[in-house]
Amino acid sequence: MNLSRMKDHVEVGGADRFRQLGLYLILVGYPFYVFFNAYNGLYSHIIIVLFLMLLLPRVIASRNELVTEFPFLLLLWSYGSIAFVSIWFPASNYYDYWGFMDSFSYLVIGAIGVWCIGLLGTSEIKIIKIILSITTLWLSTSVVLDSYGIVDKQCYQWLSFGRIVFYKSNINYYSFWLLFSMWGTIALLWQQSKWQTLISIICYCLTCWALLKTSSVTPQVALFISTLVFLLSLIPLSRGRYQIYLIAASLMIVIPVVWVTIAPLRFEGELTFFNRFPIIASYLYLFDFSATIIRDSPVFGYGYGATMNIPISVDNPQSWLRFPGGHSHNIVFLLLIEYGLFGLLYCICFLLLLFDYVFQKVIGFAGAPAVWALFVSGQVIFSLSFSVWRPDVVLCYCMFFIMLIIAVGPSKREWVTRMRSLLEPGVVVLTISATLFYIAD
């Protein structure tokens, strides 16, 4: 392991081996689950509960030392409060009360699971390296063999949690995890030794092959952009790195906000070219409609779950009557639609916090380029696809953050103290202000 990271991990004794087992089982079992079963069906409700049960020993054993993710828990509390007042004092009739009661519970379960990762022992990191390397190689190879019809998924029935699914949405789940696990593996192995660097290169090549053979465009776009970020991150910068990286990361929010200010664009004459590419045209129409309805209620939004009920009133290539899948396919647009200005402020707070958390941890770390590639791959995927709180989607978010924590290590106590002093007053003011504004409206 890189020497700059050694001080961030601790050795654990024999009494702590049991709490490590749950994380190992999740990292081993999740690739099998997403490849065979993930599609937001019955299994997803069972798996997310199992996810928490496997990590409960870690929660119990680490409850006194887990201050590392406190700022993120504070933001989760703020999000829950804003979502709650948006349905109790709704600004529209499109909110989804029962959807909130159901899906927010999944988010809480997932957040507890991510929170309890805590401090990782040096021996634990060594085992995680092996697990991630093997599962990434297995999953990428299985996807390639399945795409060529050499080995069908049905042949793995004995490894499946239940009935194997072949839905198109299932491709997204395992493709996203494959991309996350690849960059997480590379972050842990890159330049640690010749053999580990070689394994990381093999993981990258097989993952590229697998993702390019799937029919899902989003992970392919994320792969291309994250690879570009990895290569650019190898360029040494004497100064201005923080500012440059922050500007690049903030595009995730800036682009939707700018779009809202200029919507509606009404892609008719000028978009004849894009109509030759149905996927691009669909995204453009969907995002433009999202930006347009945000302009109609920019302060309060439409309430939690509104994207499931708002009718699409403009012509579109797919003749949608409502948002496909019940969401805007962009997490920033989703929060702006549901919570308006308060959703935007929440997005800004969370992105700044997450960016600062990653940046302060990867200084001097050999795997930093892969960490930034992992960071950006998540940004791209959640800007083009998942943006609702369904069980399998929550698990996807959770596994992304778990991979990020594994790759960069836990937060430093001084950073947590600094963020708490900066964040706590702002979050309290944001939450109280949102509550008062919704009540007054």
b/e sequence 91-114, b meaning 16+ C-beta within 10 Å? bbebbbeebbeebbebbebbbbbb
pTM over 0.95: no
- Secondary structure letter of residue 385 according to DSSP: S
Supply the pLDDT for residue 236: 82
Domain parsing of the chain, residue ranges: 3-73+90-419
The one-letter code for the residue type at 14 is G
**Residue 409 phi, psi dihedral angles, 5° rounding:** 90, 170
Distance CA(266)–CA(259), nearest Å, equals 12
Give the CA count within 13 Å in the CB-facing half-sphere of 117: 28
Low-confidence ranges of the chain (pLDDT < 70): 1-18, 40, 42, 59-72, 118-121, 266-277, 313-319, 326, 410-424, 441
The pLDDT of residue 169 is 78
CA 208 – CA 202 distance, rounded (Å)? 10
β-pair partners for 10: 121
Check if the beta carbon of residue 308 is closer than 8 Å to that of residue 96: yes
Structure-token pair, residue 72: 């993120």
Contact 68, 119 (CB under 8 A): yes
Look up residue 14 and give its two tokens. Answer: 């024999």
Give the pLDDT score at 178. 95
Q: Is residue 378 within 8 Å of residue 400, measured between CB atoms?
A: yes
Beta bridge pairs of residue 311: 322
| pLDDT, tens only, 342-376 | 889 888 988 988 898 888 888 888 889 999 999 99
Peptide bond into 317 cis (omega under 30): no
pLDDT, residue 4, reads: 45
Tokens of 21: 């087992």
- pLDDT of the residue at 1: 41
Give the pLDDT confidence of 229-281 residue by residue, as tens digits. 999 999 887 788 889 999 999 999 999 999 999 887 765 555 556 666 677 77
pLDDT at 18: 65
DSSP letters of 58-84?
Answer: HHHHHTTT--TTHHHHHHHHHHHHHHH
